[in-house]
Amino acid sequence: MSTLPVIAAVDGSDDSLRALDWALDAARGRGAPLRVVHVWQYTAAWTPPGVLVDGPPNGDEDAVLDQVRTYLEGRADRPVMEYLGLQGAPAVVLPELGPTAQLLVLGSRGRGGFASLLLGSNGMAAAREADCPVVVVPRPGREVHGDTPAEPGPRVVVGLHVDSPDETTLAFAFAEAALRGARLQVVAAYPWPPQTWASAGELVPPVIDQETVESETRILTEGLLAPHRTHHPDVRTEPYVAPGDAAGHLVATSQDADLVVVGRHRRRLLAPARLIGSVTQAVLLHAACPVAVVPPTALEE
């Protein structure tokens, strides 16, 4: 059985070249081919006169893929390389590549859109729609705030919601840490203080104390990690249990991390469309390191 490739989406921007470098390392680590894909934005029949859109000069030329070939020329230990030019709207075409890939990797911004945006529409669409994990590589220099302890060395971070754990996301994070020889920092945040409302808008003080909530969260965390630790005995895990906003803790731990792993929302009965939850979206927008968004399995969806 052939090994599915890692796909790197490129568009000629510096952001996409950073994503290409990340994908190159990922393909090498997995022993997988690297497929470099450029999606030409086709010219629609209704395009107003004078509006410039991208398009190939002819069917056999692609300057962006030629740029990539030159960029990678002379690189040692390159995996098997494949190059593919497609036409269409990137936000539609890229997610459709999901079933053919181990990973889909792209930069946080491309050549189009507004310079002030933290995440381009193609990255958001791929993270929301693709059937494979999507890695979004941010621009360097993002500043994050917060003081989350972390020792030096390779580190993968994963978010864990103990009330509704995502086994697929945990499995991906453990496998990624094993591939990288990295330790795995598991962020399990719990809301505090809890808010209980009485009649007429009156707040009722919590009947349980914070130490109890934190202890129970830690016990649940250890239980959820146990089967994955058995499967990956060489991966050292560091549970980080703390009160407050999960997104804030994940963004803070992204400083100097190799990767942050988050899950995509499962479909809901009253909202059958695929969604990116608020925590995942905040991490995509603000994390200082690459972010992997892991889709649920078909059964979970």
Looking at the structure, tell me whether residues 132 and 160 fall in a common domain.
no
The answer to which of 37-41, 201-205, 241-245 has the lowest mean pLDDT is 201-205
Q: Does 301 have pLDDT greater than 50?
A: no
Residue 148 covered by a domain: no
Residue 275 covered by a domain: yes
Residue 172 covered by a domain: yes
Looking at the structure, tell me whether residues 129 and 211 fall in a common domain.
no
Residue 115 covered by a domain: yes
Residue 298 covered by a domain: no
Looking at the structure, tell me whether residues 260 and 286 fall in a common domain.
yes
Is residue 220 classed exposed, middle or buried when 0-12, 13-18 and 19+ CB atoms within 10 A define those classes?
middle
Query: CA-CA distance, 6 to 25, in Å (whole number)?
Result: 10
Q: Does 1 have pLDDT greater than 80?
A: no
Read off the pLDDT of each residue in 279-283 and give the average, rounded to a whole number.
91
The answer to which of 37-46, 47-56, 101-110, 251-260 has the lowest mean pLDDT is 47-56
Q: Half-sphere exposure (CA, 13 Å, Cβ side) for 207? A: 2
Tens digit of pLDDT for each residue in 183-224?
999 999 988 776 555 555 565 555 678 888 899 999 999 999
Confidence class of residue 116 from pLDDT cuts 50, 70 and 90? Answer: very low
Report pLDDT for 149.
Answer: 64
The answer to which of 18-32, 112-126, 145-159 has the lowest mean pLDDT is 112-126
Provide the mean pLDDT of the chain.
83
Q: Give me the percent of the chain exceeding a pLDDT of 70.
A: 78
- C-alpha angle with apex 157: 156 to 158, nearest 5 degrees? 125
Q: Which of 137, 196, 156 is nearest to 17 (CA)?
A: 137
Q: What is the domain-level CATH number for residue 228?
A: 3.40.50.12370
Looking at the structure, tell me whether residues 40 and 159 fall in a common domain.
no
Looking at the structure, tell me whether residues 160 and 215 fall in a common domain.
yes
Residue 6 has phi, psi (to 5 degrees) of: -85, 130
Domain that holds residue 260: 155-290
Query: CA-CA distance, 237 to 173, in Å (whole number)?
Result: 11
Write down the pTM of the prediction.
0.85
Residue 296 covered by a domain: no
Read off the pLDDT of each residue in 243-264 and give the average, rounded to a whole number.
93
Domains contained in the chain, number = 2
Here the tokens at position 24 are 């190159």
Looking at the structure, tell me whether residues 130 and 159 fall in a common domain.
no
Read off the pLDDT of each residue in 32-47 and give the average, rounded to a whole number.
76
More confident residue, 75 or 22: 22
Q: What is the domain-level CATH number for residue 76?
A: 3.40.50.620
Report pLDDT for 75.
Answer: 87
Report pLDDT for 277.
Answer: 82
Residue 159 covered by a domain: yes
Residue 55 covered by a domain: yes
Read off the pLDDT of each residue in 63-78 and give the average, rounded to a whole number.
91
Looking at the structure, tell me whether residues 72 and 130 fall in a common domain.
yes
